[in-house]
Amino acid sequence: MKPILSCRNVMVDFSGFKALQGVDLDVQNKEVLFLIGPNGAGKTTLLDCICGKTRASSGQILFEEKIELSKLPEQKIVQEGIARKFQAPSIFLHLTPFENLEIAMKQKKSLLSILLAKMTQVQHEKIEAILKKVGLFEDRHKLAGSLSHGQKQWLEIGMQLIQEPTLLLLDEPIAGMSGEERTKTGELIKEIAKECTVVVVEHDMEFVRNFSSKVVVMHEGKVLCQGSMKDIQENEEVKNVYLGR
């Protein structure tokens, strides 16, 4: 099977500090892949490189076997079908979840088409379907500012989903969530993965254990090891250094 995303020898140099030192990573279509590792390992920097927020100093990031992401501007990468949810939600707090999704839906379009377009029934239904998927349908006309922390995170995920990404990048999606919100987020990620590849940066090993997914351990700007949760738990270096065993 051909990977949907291939990183080859990706390096990032921040004024002499090598945050990524040759990352090699393949992501398969429709898998949920977890990126773990201690603080400073380079996980966020890798997501930043994939979505174009940070430029790789060298190496290759190939999407769908043909698109070299490291050469594309951020907006073009979004148009190619890669969505990124950052740790802090960037939703409009004074608008409703419905209105937030309406704005997100128009993001890929030109300014002219946004100005000319009236929302069609199909678009209206699409927004409602996303609201249901992320569990916000009942609260769709409340102000986003009044939502719980978890609901705000789900709204932000919805704002990415409405752009119908092929690859969704999530940076610590359960940070600050209650137990119930974590469970719901896990279910949401599994649901999303039926249609879309998902790469998740995550610290919470209990959460990662709920998935039968590939886990990639990063350390000092490189991939240290990868495999199932069982594989990485049995890896001596991971045991000693990252899981504190």
Backbone angles phi, psi at 59, to 5 degrees: 100, 180
CA-CA distance, 191 to 180, in Å (whole number)?
A: 17
| Shortest reach from residue 145's CB to ligand ADP, in Å | 28
By CB under 6 A, tell whether 14 contacts ligand ADP: yes
What is the DSSP track for 206-224?
A: HHHHTS--EEEEEETTEEE
Are β-strands 5-14 and 58-63 bridged in parallel, bridged antiparallel, or unpaired?
A: antiparallel
| Shortest reach from residue 35's CB to ligand ADP, in Å | 8
- Please give the single-letter amino acid code of residue 80: E
CA 230 from centre of chain: 23
Q: How many CA atoms lie within 13 A of 26 on its CB side?
A: 7
| Closer residue to ligand ADP (CB): 16 or 179 | 16
- Per CB under 6 A, the list member of 4, 5, 19, 32 interacting with ligand ADP is 19
Closest of 214, 209, 231, 227 to residue 29, by C-alpha: 214
Site residue total, ligand ADP (CB under 6 A) = 11
| Shortest reach from residue 140's CB to ligand ADP, in Å | 33
| Shortest reach from residue 61's CB to ligand ADP, in Å | 15
- Per CB under 6 A, the list member of 2, 17, 116, 179 interacting with ligand ADP is 17
Backbone angles phi, psi at 187, to 5 degrees: -65, -40
Query: Hey, is 54 helix, strand or coil?
Result: coil
| Closer residue to ligand ADP (CB): 44 or 235 | 44
By CB under 6 A, tell whether 84 contacts ligand ADP: no
| Closer residue to ligand ADP (CB): 19 or 134 | 19
- Tell which positions 35-64 bind ligand ADP, by CB under 6 A: 37, 39-45
| Shortest reach from residue 222's CB to ligand ADP, in Å | 11
Q: Spell out a b/e string for 30-56, using b for 16 or more CB atoms within 10 Å of the CB, else e.
A: ebbbbbbbeeebbbbbbbbbbbbebeb
- Tell which positions 86-105 bind ligand ADP, by CB under 6 A: none
CA-CA distance, 143 to 81, in Å (whole number)?
A: 29
Whether the CB-CB separation of 72 and 52 falls below 8 Å is answered with yes
CA-CA distance, 237 to 245, in Å (whole number)?
A: 10
By CB under 6 A, tell whether 16 contacts ligand ADP: no
Where does this chain touch ligand ADP (CB under 6 A) — which range of 13-21, 80-88, 90-98, 104-112? 13-21
| Closer residue to ligand ADP (CB): 19 or 238 | 19
| Closer residue to ligand ADP (CB): 161 or 223 | 223
| Closer residue to ligand ADP (CB): 11 or 103 | 11
Q: What is the contact surface with ligand ADP in residues (CB under 6 A)?
A: 14, 17, 19, 37, 39-45
